[in-house]
Amino acid sequence: MEERTRERLLKKCPHLRVVLSSDIGRLGLLERENAAIMNAGLLALSNRTMAAFERALTTAGLDCPFFITQNDGTLMNAETVKAFPVLTFASGPTNSMRGAAFLTGLHDAIVVDIGGTTSDIGTLQRGFPRQAATVVDIGGVRTNFRMPDVLALGLGGGSLVFEASDGAVKVGPQSVGYRITSEARVFGGRTLTATDIAVALGEARVGTHQDAVGSLDPALLAKARAEMTAILERGVERCRISPRPTPVIAVGGGSILMPDRIGDLEVLRPENFAVANAVGAAIAQISSETDRIFSLENGLTRELCLKQAEDEARAKAVQAGARAETIEVVEREDVPLAYLPGNAIRINVKVVGDMGDLDA
């Protein structure tokens, strides 16, 4: 029905850009509608952004295609970004998670990406970010398009440290953000930040005025350290999906705030942890996904439908720029839908593959 409506609209208005909710959202009528509306509202911005990237590459003397990271830790070409800008939401934390997997060689872990204002915590499963399985709230709007299951906490290197009149110490969620290099005490400023606490405790060597935090009250330092550790522990526990010990990987420039252990979990801080985000983008692969409802009638079996969905996902991945011989299935799910006629089954298959020859 949506495809027929699009055809009728384009006959009357050939230059109209039409977004189909079936291309973006999943099950759930209201959430799917919201996802389509949100995507449509970003089309103009997405086009301007992609045009700016193209101009920047041309100015730099580069004549080549370019790819943008999306929120499942893989890449998509510029045309796909123009059509589906919502797929870039939360791509920053997923880049860091993929980078953490590459730098440590671990495929199952909890990743804590600490920047200047927030700590983003997510779970790696088979080397890729675990996707949110329920409705996702974006700016107060219920949606159901693909999103990583990431918990954002208001703790970062630039988080403000307050001491209340009763002696309690609070860290964040307010932050100096990008102004940390001018406002934090270790950089010659007057604002006490989480980075100042880490430097004063000898946990990091950052800044040009490290002696500025040498006279801080030890009691204040201990309380601030305990508060930061408690915030991170609560976040990691909320993201654990198994009672078994799971390694925690700390990445990002602000990961100097991370203690060596979080409860009973070991914390790993790999080499080049500060640039895990860039590493994740550099090693990203091409992906494709098929999410459809099949009717197990007229001789169709579950196995045949799974094969059809996989073939469709592989074909789309090749079209998007992946090398066919490198494509592998990373997710496969089938769920019977008892409320639909025709012995319906929902099948979701996701594949990834290495980027092909750009000159081909």
pLDDT in tens, 155-191: 999 999 998 888 899 998 999 988 999 999 999 999 9
Of 110-114, 173-177, 262-266, where does mean pLDDT reach its minimum?
262-266
- What is the pLDDT, as a whole number, of residue 360? 45
- What is the pLDDT, as a whole number, of residue 22? 83
| CA distances from residue 11 to 16, 18, 40, 82 in whole angstroms, order as listed | 10, 12, 19, 22
CATH top class, domain 285-360 = alpha beta
CATH top class, domain 93-283 = alpha beta
pLDDT above 80 for 252? yes
Rounded CA separation 124/239 (Å):
10
Rounded CA separation 346/27 (Å):
10
The top-scoring range by mean pLDDT among 61-75, 128-142, 172-186 is 172-186
pLDDT above 90 for 153? yes
Rounded CA separation 212/184 (Å):
10
CATH 3.30.70 domain locations along the chain: 285-360
Contact 195, 256 (CB under 8 A): yes
Give the residue-averaged pLDDT of 82-111: 92
pLDDT above 50 for 66? yes
**Average of per-residue pLDDT values in the chain:** 90
- What is the pLDDT, as a whole number, of residue 358? 57
pLDDT above 60 for 88? yes
Residue with the bigger pLDDT between 299 and 249: it is 249
Which residue from 151, 148, 152, 141 is spatially nearest to 39, judged by alpha carbons? Answer: 141
Residues 313, 314, 315, 321: is their CA dihedral positive or negative? positive
Residue 110's pLDDT band (cuts 50, 70, 90): very high
Of 90-94, 114-118, 258-262, where does mean pLDDT reach its minimum?
90-94
Give the residue-averaged pLDDT of 337-356: 85
CATH 3.30.420.40 domain locations along the chain: 93-283
Neighbours of 342 (CB within 10 A): 13
Residue with the bigger pLDDT between 136 and 57: it is 57
Residue 280's pLDDT band (cuts 50, 70, 90): very high
- What is the pLDDT, as a whole number, of residue 97? 93
pLDDT above 70 for 290? yes
Residue 134's pLDDT band (cuts 50, 70, 90): low
